[in-house]
Structure 1
Amino acid sequence: MTVVSVSEPTTAASRRSVRAAFAAAIATSLEWYDFFIYSTAAALVFNVTFFETDSAVVSALNSFATVAVGFIARPIGGILAGQLGDRYGRKPVLVGAVLLMALATSLIGFVPNTEIVWLAPALLVLLRVCQGLAVGAQWGGAVLVATENAPPHLRGFFGSFAQLGVPIGVILGNVAFLAMTAWTSAADFLAWGWRIPFWISLVMLPVAFAIHRFLEETPEFKAASAKMAQTPAVKKSPIMQVLREHPGTILTAAGANTIGVVFFYTMITGSVQFVTTYLGVDRSTVLTWILVSCCLAIPFVPFVGWLSDRFGRKLIFGLGSVAMMVWAVPMWLLIEASSADRVWPFAIAVIVGMLAAGFQTGTQGTLFAELFPPEIRFSGASLGYQISAIIGGFAPFAMVALINGEPGNAWRVGAGLAALAALGLVCLWVIVRRNYHSDAEPAA
């Protein structure tokens, strides 16, 4: 009888952990698919269809500016979601974020080509803001659903499943655009083919229903809610509490994470625009190699999460900063050395770059969650991550400005990334020195 009484709760907890991890992976994969296809469309389509000018540089800057708008909206989504998620639960916020993203992305596919010059850009900006709000809300919900349902000794591994949405989302987005490129002519692709990947996002609606129907609220939120219920009736605002009590944690977390966001977006979005516009590399070839690099990242990200369970989040996260700092300049020199009949430098650049970034991708969700106590964790983790995303959103824009139409200036992008990685290491050092809140991180 003793065996039964012990094993049954353990089995139920294990099933809950696995179910939560897969729900987080599916939700984030679809959310990031929606968010990333906009960036891909901005690099390949919008600069021609909605923002065409006599200057390719100006067209690209205008197109990528709308990409950045979504990143500016992400902290606002994180703030709103943090308020709701720390008060009412992780699950309802995640469901709401999935629904908002599905509707906004599908509507982008209906934005008309029109003689009214301002209409399409205005609609794109509005819907991109909605995408940013959804991603800002979704990330914290997915990470906490995965980590707070996980056993303490495997929190890094299970938490990494929420981060799997990043490479899977890129893969799904690139597959969608590759398929449309193959099935349509160049003219048809620009006229209507690019819209179909946006309409596909409607499949997120049944996913939202499934999460609402089958996923339980996390045990840590239930415990935090019970604790707060015993305190005086006046409830503190979670966002104001975390800003008042943990401002240094938020800022250093954002500073440490910025290099990962900027590195990633210059690689999967900026490099696509660079090699297709200036080096004449075929669009399908570029997207294929981005796809290959993301496929390699899928098993690598959970492995990194497992490493963080063994050796500590901060150590593994720091290795990612070092790897990106070392690889930044060589990566962009290789990208510059690519051409239509010489694609292997680009392939090496993005494959190694994706693995270097993977040390942070697989660790950041659990690391950020463990920096804050449970009652304000949604607000704190979301703010730290989404503040860094603002800078990341301007990465392709800054890349275009640094290169300024001269392919030989590509090294400038690498140098900027290396400097940003060094700054990230300083922020991580501050986190280590001040020993911010940590629930169950292994000793490194």
Structure 2
Amino acid sequence: MSTSSPTQQSGTAARHKAGTVAFASYIGTTIEWYDFFIYGVAATLVFRVQFFPGFSDLAGTLAALGTFAVGFIARPIGGVVMGHFGDRVGRKSMLVVSLLMMGSATTLIGLIPTYDSIGIWAPILLIVLRLVQGAGVGGEWAGAVLMAVENAPAKRRSLYGCFPQLGLPSGILLSQLAFLLLTGVMSPADFAAWGWRLAFLTSAVLIVVGLVIRLRIEESSEFNKVREAGQIEKLPVVEVFRRSPLQILIGSLASIAAPAIGYLVSVYMVSYGTATLKLPTSTMLWILVSVSVAWLLMMLAAGLAGDRFGRKATFAVGAAVGVVWAFPLFWLVDTGSIALIVVALLGITVANSIMAGTQPALITQMYPVRLRYSGSTISYTIASILGGGLTPLLATALFADFGSSTAVSALVAVVCLISLAAILCANSRILHAEQPASVPATGKSAHPLTEGTVG
């Protein structure tokens, strides 16, 4: 009877750990994006009436989407703080903190009295809790992708790294299903009055599930090696700006398009479909459900492609697809045909999937391990603010100003062009941080150019 060698057993154990961590990262990010996106859907459907009743339809919608964008203001704060401790204390602990912040804020949003009950304090409380949400998600992405990437086999980092990204379409899917269920079992009046709150209160249950999963996973193996070698930086955020400024610039610009497309599809299209195309809310939600299922599969395929054909080349293809599809997107959506709207959104989510599927491994590998949480968070946060936070707001304003979806298409094309140009400008020294052969216990490298900085 044959038995496996210690090396084979070790390899099997490593793959099992990598798979477990990737799955845990996926579940956690799904819960956090559910929290994030139910806010976006509620902002387009009910917040205008519940928290800004004195505004006109357009002004109320802009105000509600403005509170959605406010969450991105807190992202840099949460990202910097969690990046600092993520590089000093560990990735796992920050994932627990971010989940608690997001879940608690989401649950409390479900309990806020309306404007009619407490006046101006209603939108103020809404904004404060939205800021807490933003701070929590600000440090979530880097922690989740680092746990997945740093535990992954060397030749499968794009595939394993895309698992946290699957939380985006999964969170969209869950948020749409939640609102479909609620709008399907209650009258429009009941849903607007109190039913929407149930989607937020459900987060309390999801927090428990997420915490149980995240508390059981092990710390990143690469971070453990850095910690055991005494290579922890005292001020990683300061060091990453000093040593890797080009990585921050390229990583931020390259990452703009993916969140812009994600929020355009998940937030703006709900408002556009119901207000402009006069489609039933349930119809738009079902469209997003069907698209989100395909989105998951496409992102997994993109992760595999990144490992097979190279991350830079794969990412560039995704950005190019976004540029090409920006105008057909609204040509098809504006027909009002359900089938053509699905085709339109599938096309633009192909662009998002290809970029987002390779993004974690692509961006995180720009930074050395001991600066990686801070560097990745900064790049992702800047991109999310410029691409994701402002896109629904700008799209709404542009359509109102020009009265045509062509202006929104131009916005999408420009954003994707920025990401395409950035990634094409990245050379191998930007994309691959070199780890020094030895680093003094102080954490200061004797050779700064080996830290992934381009001279």
TM-score by length of 2: 0.91
Aligned positions of 1:26-425 closer than 5 A: 26-115=27-116, 116-228=118-230, 235-338=233-336, 342-391=337-386, 392-404=388-400, 408-425=403-420
Deviations 1:300-351 (A, max 9, x none): 212111111111111111111000110011102222221xxx3233222112
The code of the aligned residue for 2:124 comes to A
Per-residue deviation, 1:227: 2.3
Distance in 2 (CA, whole Å) between partners of 1:167 and 1:211 is 20
Per-residue deviation, 1:12: 1.1
Q: Which moved more, 1:156-165 or 1:257-266?
A: 257-266
Aligned positions of 1:418-433 closer than 5 A: 418-432=413-427
The code of the aligned residue for 1:286 comes to M
Could you list the structure 1 runs, at least 4 aligned residues long, displaced by more than 4 angstroms after superposition: none
Structure 1 gap ranges (5+) = none
Distance in 1 (CA, whole Å) between partners of 2:3 and 2:378 is 45
Confirm or deny: 8 A CA contact 2:261 2:349 kept in the other structure: no
The code of the aligned residue for 2:166 comes to L
Deviations 1:85-141 (A, max 9, x none): 100111011011111111110000001114333111111111111111111111111
Distance in 2 (CA, whole Å) between partners of 1:120 and 1:142 is 33
The code of the aligned residue for 1:206 comes to V
Q: Which moved more, 1:95-104 or 1:186-195?
A: 95-104
Percent identical among aligned pairs is 38
The code of the aligned residue for 1:80 comes to V
The code of the aligned residue for 2:347 comes to V
Distance in 1 (CA, whole Å) between partners of 2:368 and 2:157 is 15
Per-residue deviation, 1:211: 3.6
Distance in 2 (CA, whole Å) between partners of 1:12 and 1:238 is 31
Distance in 2 (CA, whole Å) between partners of 1:427 and 1:213 is 37
Alignment RMSD: 1.8
Confirm or deny: 8 A CA contact 2:46 2:192 kept in the other structure: yes
Distance in 2 (CA, whole Å) between partners of 1:84 and 1:141 is 11
Distance in 2 (CA, whole Å) between partners of 1:186 and 1:352 is 32
Per-residue deviation, 1:228: 2.6
Distance in 1 (CA, whole Å) between partners of 2:88 and 2:426 is 27
Per-residue deviation, 1:353: 1.4
Q: Which moved more, 1:421-430 or 1:81-90?
A: 421-430
Per-residue deviation, 1:54: 5.0
Confirm or deny: 8 A CA contact 1:292 1:351 kept in the other structure: no
Deviations 1:391-412 (A, max 9, x none): 2211111111101177x51111
Distance in 2 (CA, whole Å) between partners of 1:239 and 1:155 is 24
Distance in 1 (CA, whole Å) between partners of 2:214 and 2:272 is 42
TM-score by length of 1: 0.94
Distance in 2 (CA, whole Å) between partners of 1:177 and 1:333 is 27
Distance in 2 (CA, whole Å) between partners of 1:83 and 1:77 is 10
Distance in 2 (CA, whole Å) between partners of 1:439 and 1:295 is 38
Distance in 1 (CA, whole Å) between partners of 2:265 and 2:50 is 23
How has the CA–CA distance of structure 1 residues 304 and 369 changed in structure 2, closer, same or farther, with 3 Å as cutoff?
Answer: same
The code of the aligned residue for 2:399 comes to I
Confirm or deny: 8 A CA contact 1:99 1:208 kept in the other structure: no
Distance in 2 (CA, whole Å) between partners of 1:348 and 1:151 is 35
Distance in 2 (CA, whole Å) between partners of 1:259 and 1:9 is 40
The code of the aligned residue for 2:133 comes to Q
Distance in 1 (CA, whole Å) between partners of 2:208 and 2:199 is 17
How has the CA–CA distance of structure 1 residues 411 and 251 changed in structure 2, closer, same or farther, with 3 Å as cutoff?
Answer: same
Deviations 1:139-174 (A, max 9, x none): 111101111111101111111111110000000000
The code of the aligned residue for 1:17 comes to A
Aligned to 2:432, what secondary structure does the other structure show?
coil
Aligned to 1:409, what secondary structure does the other structure show?
coil
Structure 2 gap ranges (5+) = 436-455
Distance in 2 (CA, whole Å) between partners of 1:223 and 1:368 is 21
Distance in 2 (CA, whole Å) between partners of 1:86 and 1:423 is 29
Aligned to 1:372, what secondary structure does the other structure show?
coil
Q: Which moved more, 1:35-44 or 1:348-357?
A: 348-357
The code of the aligned residue for 1:7 comes to Q
Q: Which moved more, 1:378-387 or 1:266-275?
A: 266-275
Deviations 1:64-93 (A, max 9, x none): 000001112112211111101100111011
Per-residue deviation, 1:435: 3.6
Confirm or deny: 8 A CA contact 2:162 2:300 kept in the other structure: yes
How has the CA–CA distance of structure 1 residues 298 and 439 changed in structure 2, closer, same or farther, with 3 Å as cutoff?
Answer: farther
